[in-house]
């Protein structure tokens, strides 16, 4: 299995191990330790596999949204060593410094409202999506009850990238997640990574599960993991199949 680790946005480096709530739930495997160690130097990007489709799964853009980070680290460990058709890029700890402090913002800014701003971490990720010629993007988050959206959900849009809606519809139907679809990307949240990717012609969705910020509600990592697996199913990457 081809495996390649690189660091993007070096200014984001942080000590993931200091987030004790997160650490209690992370799968204890050598690759997990490798990712945590790499995060000291910035945002780790892990590439698994080769060929098409080329997809990316992201978590931790809000540092205190813990369930998706737990789920993506679990998924990475499961994928590692398997053979499958396609390339899976993962960013499990998008902003290690924010994760370290269990906080939503980085340097005072919400990075999921800043993807259009040059020099921000989320804009660096957006440029990365373009340079890697990514075919589909899934950005994973968690949401508190009685907030926005406050329920397990999938954000997507129809214009200018209709494939976003198709992915969102499939995930909604297969994961019991509410679909929240904009007619045009960027009209609901300016600067969200998903929206900016869709505006750039890269199909993208945002997947939410319910958990209080800085905490891990029972069952929330499993729900996020299910969304991730169904995303891979949609794009045609069958990780259970050993070729």
Q: Has residue 210 got a pLDDT over 50?
A: yes
Residue 48: predicted pLDDT: 96
Query: Percent of the chain, pLDDT > 90?
Result: 94
For residues 132-146, give the mean pLDDT.
97
Is residue 243, in this structure, part of any structural domain at all? no
- DSSP string covering 178-195, please? EEEEEEETTSSSTT-HHH
Pairing of strands 43-50, 136-143: unpaired
Is residue 68, in this structure, part of any structural domain at all? yes
Is residue 188, in this structure, part of any structural domain at all? yes
72, 140 in Cβ contact below 8 A?
yes
For residues 147-157, give the mean pLDDT.
97
Is residue 164, in this structure, part of any structural domain at all? yes
Residue 240: predicted pLDDT: 61
Q: Which long-range contacts (CB under 8 A, 24 or more apart) does 169-177 make?
A: 170/230, 170/234, 171/205, 171/207, 171/227, 171/230, 171/231, 171/234, 174/230, 174/233, 175/223, 175/226, 175/227, 175/230, 176/152, 177/152, 177/153, 177/207, 177/208, 177/227
Residue 188: predicted pLDDT: 86
Residue 241: predicted pLDDT: 45
Q: Could you report the per-residue pLDDT of 5-42, keeping only the tens digit for each?
A: 999 999 999 999 999 999 999 999 999 999 999 999 99
Q: Could you report the per-residue pLDDT of 81-119, keeping only the tens digit for each?
A: 898 999 999 999 999 999 999 999 999 999 999 999 999
Is residue 183, in this structure, part of any structural domain at all? yes
* Rounded-to-integer distance, Cα 157 and Cα 198, Å: 8
Is residue 220, in this structure, part of any structural domain at all? yes
Is residue 241, in this structure, part of any structural domain at all? no
Higher pLDDT, 96 or 240: 96
Q: Has residue 242 got a pLDDT over 90?
A: no
* CATH number of the domain bearing residue 15: 3.40.630.10
Is residue 242, in this structure, part of any structural domain at all? no
What's the structural domain count of the chain? Answer: 1
Which residue range(s) make up the domain with 52? 3-235
For 22-126, strand residue ranges (E) read 43-50, 54-59, 86-91
**3-state DSSP call for residue 154?**
strand
């Amino acid at each position: 299995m081809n495996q390649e680790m690189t660091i993007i946005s070096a200014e984001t480096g942080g000590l993931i191990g200091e987030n004790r709530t997160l650490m209690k739930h992370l799968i204890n495997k050598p690759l997990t330790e490798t990712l945590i160690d790499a995060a000291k130097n910035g945002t780790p990007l892990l590439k698994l596999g080769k060929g098409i489709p080329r997809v990316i799964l992201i978590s931790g853009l809000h540092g205190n949204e813990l369930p998706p980070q737990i789920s993506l680290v679990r998924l990475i460990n499961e994928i590692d060593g398997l053979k499958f058709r396609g390339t899976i890029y993962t960013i499990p700890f998008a902003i290690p410094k924010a994760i370290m402090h269990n906080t939503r913002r980085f340097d005072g800014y919400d990075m999921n409202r800043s993807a259009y701003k040059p020099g921000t971490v989320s804009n660096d990720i957006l440029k990365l999506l373009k340079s890697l010629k990514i075919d589909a993007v899934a950005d994973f988050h968690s949401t508190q009850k009685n907030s926005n959206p406050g329920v397990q959900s999938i954000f997507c849009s129809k214009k200018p990238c209709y494939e976003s809606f198709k992915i969102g519809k499939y995930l909604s139907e297969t994961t019991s997640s509410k679909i929240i679809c904009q007619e045009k990307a960027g009209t609901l949240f300016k600067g969200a990574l998903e929206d900016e990717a869709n505006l750039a012609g890269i199909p993208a969705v945002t997947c939410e599960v319910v958990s209080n910020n800085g905490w891990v509600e029972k069952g929330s990592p499993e729900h996020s993991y299910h969304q991730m697996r169904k995303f891979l199913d949609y794009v045609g990457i069958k990780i259970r199949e050993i070729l």
